[in-house]
Chains A and B, each alone.
Chain A
Amino acid sequence: MTVIHHDRRKPVKTQDRVFQVINYTLFALFALICVYPFYYLIINSISANDLSASGLVNWVPKGIHFKNYQEVLKLNGIGLAAFVSLARTVIGTACTVLASAYLGFMFTQQKMWHRKLWYRLTIITMYFNAGLIPMFMTMKTLHLTNNFLVYIIPAIVQPFNIIMVKTYVESIPASLQEAAEIDGAGVLTIFGKVILPTSKPILATIAIWAAVAQWNSFQDTLVYITDQKLYSLQYLLYTYLNQANSLATLVKASGNVQAVASLATTQTPTSIRMTISVIVVLPILFIYPMFQKYFVKGIMIGSVKG
Chain B
Amino acid sequence: MKKESVKLFLMILPFLILVFLFSYFPLHGWIYALYDYRAPLKLSQCEFVGLKWFKALFSNPTQVSQLIVVLKNTFAMSLLGIATSFLPVLFAIFLNEIKVKWFRNLVQTLTTIPNFISWTLVYSIAFCLFSTTGMFNTVLQNLGIISEPLKILDSGQHVWLQMLLWSTWKGLGWGAIMYLAAITGIDQEMYDAAKVDGAGRWQIIRNITIPSLMPTYFVMLMLSVANFLNNGMDQYYVFQNSFNRDSIQVLDLYVYNIGMTGRSMSLATAVGVMKSLVSVTLLMIVNFVSKKTRGEGLV
Contacts and interface: CB of A to CB of B under 8 A. Distances in A.
Interface stretch (B8-16, B44-52, B156-164): B8-16
Interface string B1-33: 100111011011001101101111111111010
Interface in B262-280: 265, 268-269, 272-273, 275-276, 279-280
A46 to B, nearest CB: 14
A178 interface: no
B111 A34 contact: yes
Nearest to A22: B94
B59 interface: no
Contacts of B9: 112-114, 118
Nearest to B173: A34
B128 interface: yes
Given A130-B27, A133-B29, A54 B15 contact: no
A117 B124 CA distance: 46
Contact of B113 (A106, A137, A288, A300): A288
Interface of B is mostly: helix
Contact of B32 (A20, A133, A277): A133
A280 B233 CA distance: 20
A292 B112 contact: yes
A106 B259 CA distance: 39
Contacts of A24: 98, 103
B283 interface: yes
Contact of B276 (A27, A128, A237, A276): A128
A34 B237 contact: no
B129 A40 contact: yes
A277 B121 contact: yes
Interface in B113-172: 113-114, 116-121, 123-125, 127-129, 133, 135, 138-139, 141-142, 169, 172
B68 interface: no
Q: Mostly helix, strand, loop or mixed at chain A's interface?
A: helix
Contacts of B30: 130-131, 134
A55 B135 contact: yes
Given A127-B280, A132-B259, A134-B32, A113 B6 contact: yes
Interface stretch (A69-77, A167-175, A199-207, A212-220): A212-220
Interface stretch (A60-68, A86-94, A152-160, A251-259): A152-160
A273 B169 CA distance: 21
B199 interface: no
B12 A103 contact: yes
Given A27-B98, A103-B12, A19 B29 contact: no
B234 interface: yes
Nearest to A112: B8
A33 B127 CA distance: 16
B220 to A, nearest CB: 9
B296 interface: yes
A38 B113 contact: yes
Contacts of A235: 120
A306 B219 contact: yes
Contacts of A138: 21-22, 25-26, 29
Interface in A258-306: 270, 273-274, 276-277, 280-281, 284-285, 288-289, 292, 295-296, 299-300, 303, 306
B298 interface: yes
A289 B118 CA distance: 17
A58 interface: yes
Given A55-B135, A122-B16, A219-B233, A134 B26 contact: yes
A40 B98 CA distance: 28
Contact of B169 (A33, A55, A113, A215): A33
B63 interface: no
A122 to B, nearest CB: 5
B75 interface: no
Contact of A131 (B12, B19, B255): B255
Contacts of A118: 9, 12, 16
Contact of B29 (A44, A130, A156, A157): A130
Interface of B: 1, 4-6, 8-9, 11-12, 15-16, 18-19, 21-30, 32, 94-95, 97-98, 103, 106-107, 109-114, 116-121, 123-125, 127-129, 133, 135, 138-139, 141-142, 169, 172-173, 177-178, 181, 200-201, 216, 219, 233-234, 237-238, 252, 255-256, 259-260, 265, 268-269, 272-273, 275-276, 279-280, 283, 296-299
23 contacts: A19-B97, A30-B107, A30-B172, A34-B114, A34-B173, A55-B141, A103-B12, A112-B12, A129-B23, A130-B30, A131-B276, A133-B29, A133-B255, A133-B265, A134-B32, A187-B11, A216-B117, A219-B234, A222-B237, A223-B256, A270-B128, A280-B124, A284-B117
A-B interface, 4 closest residue pairs, ranked by CB to CB distance from nearest: A134-B29, A55-B138, A131-B272, A130-B26
